[in-house]
């Protein structure tokens, strides 16, 4: 017969055993916590923003397998490329929320409007400087248009055909493309100059790509397979597929909030990304060692040197504007072409200390072509005016402005600069219309087609 004390000891483990198990459990939790803390610290060393930034990568559509450009942009048969509305639904520019229209342009609408009484439709073409102006100075643009007597009390609608990175003839093509879809305009503003010179010469010419092709065409088309590189592309697609599966697994896992899971996920993701970079570098190397395929370059530039390429870039800019003018004239649209100011245009602005430190660098190739090319733009501007183009030279707009206007070493302006450009543009339109108040080519907002 078992004694009562013995039966009790079998039913309940001794206190020492309980303490040991409790100690083991606490040690395990502490060890796990230290491990997670170490993973958090390691993540901060590997990527700026640490573990939370890795979570953003897991949640990002870019992790689906392509490079950012191929995810946010898509080829377009007429304007080269547009934003992909299936990937980028909206964005912010200077506090204005823009959505990707069904045509692939950042705008607040789908961009197709018809003339009707009490409405003024203003189309804006150009690159990122024009796009920023339509957002940072939207009120100034609309107020300036409404100050014109014939447009007083009218609703002013801005249609953005300007996109970051666009250069002529993309503005010309965008205008014709939206017109093909039924868009009508009362006024078209074309603000350009920088991209037409800097991107055409420093990028297209240097990469042996047709000068009138869109920026970075050889990069945007690098996923178009050259049969000579089929074995490398097989590896590319394999790695992209693996990265895609990893991305889906990361989003589906219940552990993806743990720093350890994120760190391991990121290391695996980075391994595949590095493999892709190595293969892409080899593909680029092969492309440099042999003549670039036509699909990646178009007709190779005939210009023998940079100076000749710059002359051709100016010709493309001039011809594009002339064709926009003739199209607008045929449709009864008021057309104004404005040359944007730039800090590399010699004598155009006394640079502030901030601009000298952050917004001006002689090491940047773009600026060198602006310094050489802007005088050529002004020279050809006279020829455009002789052919009837309303051309506004804004290159000296800040000639006496000592405060900071530019925000980077390329071409972008702060809000003050954008507003001053907008006021100068609307003042020029008002002067044009007052000068030609009896001209039949200037439609009334009450005119319908």
What domain range is 354 assigned to? 77-217+302-435
Instruction: State residue 3's pLDDT score.
Output: 53
Task: Tell me if 118 sits within 8 A of 124, measured CB to CB.
Answer: no
Residue 441 located in a structural domain = no
Residue 245 located in a structural domain = no
Whose CA is closest to 208, among 310, 311, 288? 288
Cα 239 off chain centre by: 27
Residue 293 located in a structural domain = no
Residue 400 located in a structural domain = yes
**Structural domains of the chain, count:** 1
Residue 358 located in a structural domain = yes
DSSP string for 257-284: TSHHHHHHHHHHHHHHHHHHHHHHHHHH
pLDDT in tens, 83-138: 998 888 888 888 899 999 999 999 999 999 999 999 999 999 999 999 999 999 99
pLDDT in tens, 197-207: 999 999 999 98
Q: What's the predicted TM-score (pTM) here?
A: 0.77
Question: How does strand 106-107 pair with strand 96-100?
Answer: antiparallel
pLDDT in tens, 136-169: 999 999 999 999 999 999 999 999 999 999 999 9
Q: What are the start-end ranges of the E strands in 280-425?
A: 334-339, 391-393
What is d(CA 423, CA 378) in angstroms, rounded to the nearest whole number? 21
Phi/psi of residue 158, each to 5°?
A: -95, 130
Q: For residue 101, give the 3-state DSSP assignment.
A: coil
Q: Please name the residue that has the structure tokens 């602006």.
A: 370
Q: Which of 70-84, 127-141, 320-334 has the lowest mean pLDDT?
A: 70-84
Q: Which of 170-174, 359-363, 398-402 has the lowest mean pLDDT?
A: 359-363
Instruction: State residue 243's pLDDT score.
Output: 82
CA angle (41 as vertex; 35, 43 as ends), nearest 5: 105
Q: Please name the residue that has the structure tokens 């006496």.
A: 400
Residue 445 located in a structural domain = no
Residue 130 located in a structural domain = yes
Residue 232 located in a structural domain = no
CATH code of the domain containing 333: 3.40.50.1110
Q: Interhelix angle for 365-386 vs 306-330, to 10°?
A: 40
What is d(CA 25, CA 20) in angstroms, rounded to the nearest whole number? 9
What is d(CA 68, CA 51) in angstroms, rounded to the nearest whole number? 21
Q: In whole numbers, what is the pLDDT of the chain averaged over residues?
A: 86
What is d(CA 44, CA 328) in angstroms, rounded to the nearest whole number? 55
pLDDT at 448 over 70: no
Phi/psi of residue 118, each to 5°?
A: 80, 10
**In Å, how far are 85, 88, 125 from 442, measured between CA atoms?**
35, 38, 20
């Amino acid at each position: 017969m078992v004694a009562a004390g013995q039966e009790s000891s079998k039913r309940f483990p001794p206190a020492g055993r309980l303490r040991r198990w409790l100690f083991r459990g606490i040690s395990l939790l502490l060890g796990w916590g230290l491990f997670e803390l170490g993973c958090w610290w390691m993540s901060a060393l590997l990527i700026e923003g640490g573990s939370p930034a890795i979570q953003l990568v897991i949640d990002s559509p870019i992790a689906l397998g392509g490079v950012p450009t191929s995810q946010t942009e898509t080829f377009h048969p007429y304007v080269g490329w547009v934003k992909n509305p299936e990937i980028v639904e909206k964005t912010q520019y200077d506090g204005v929320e823009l959505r990707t229209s069904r045509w692939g342009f950042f705008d607040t609408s789908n961009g197709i409007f018809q003339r009707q009484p009490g409405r003024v439709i203003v189309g804006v073409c150009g690159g990122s400087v024009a796009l920023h102006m339509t957002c940072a100075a939207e009120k100034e643009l609309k107020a300036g248009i409404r100050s014109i007597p014939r447009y007083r009390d009218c609703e002013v609608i801005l249609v953005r055909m300007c996109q970051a990175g666009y250069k002529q003839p993309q503005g010309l093509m965008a205008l014709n493309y939206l017109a093909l879809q039924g868009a009508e305009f009362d006024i078209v503003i074309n603000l350009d100059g920088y991209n037409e010179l800097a991107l055409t010469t420093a990028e297209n010419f240097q990469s042996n790509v047709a000068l009138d092709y869109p920026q970075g065409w050889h990069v945007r088309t690098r996923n178009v397979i050259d049969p000579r590189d089929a074995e490398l592309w097989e590896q590319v697609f394999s790695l992209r597929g693996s990265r895609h599966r990893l991305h889906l697994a990361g989003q589906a896992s219940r552990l993806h909030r743990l720093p350890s899971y994120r760190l391991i996920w990121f290391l695996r993701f980075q391994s595949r990304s590095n493999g892709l970079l190595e293969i892409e570098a080899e593909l680029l190397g092969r492309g440099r060692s042999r003549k670039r395929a036509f699909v990646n370059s178009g007709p190779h530039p005939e210009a023998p040197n940079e100076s000749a390429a710059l002359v051709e870039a100016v010709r493309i800019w001039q011809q594009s504007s002339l064709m926009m003018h003739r199209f607008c004239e045929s449709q009864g649209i008021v057309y104004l072409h404005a040359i944007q100011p730039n800090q590399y245009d010699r004598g155009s602005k006394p640079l502030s200390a901030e601009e000298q430190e952050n917004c001006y660098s002689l090491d940047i190739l773009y600026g060198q072509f602006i310094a050489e090319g802007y005088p050529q733009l002004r020279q050809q501007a006279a020829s455009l005016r002789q052919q009837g183009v309303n051309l506004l030279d804004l290159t000296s707009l800040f000639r006496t402005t000592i405060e900071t206007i530019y925000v980077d070493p390329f071409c972008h302006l702060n809000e003050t600069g954008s507003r001053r450009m907008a006021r100068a543009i609307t003042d020029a339109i008002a002067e044009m219309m007052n000068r030609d108040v009896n001209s039949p080519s200037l439609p009334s907002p009450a005119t319908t087609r």
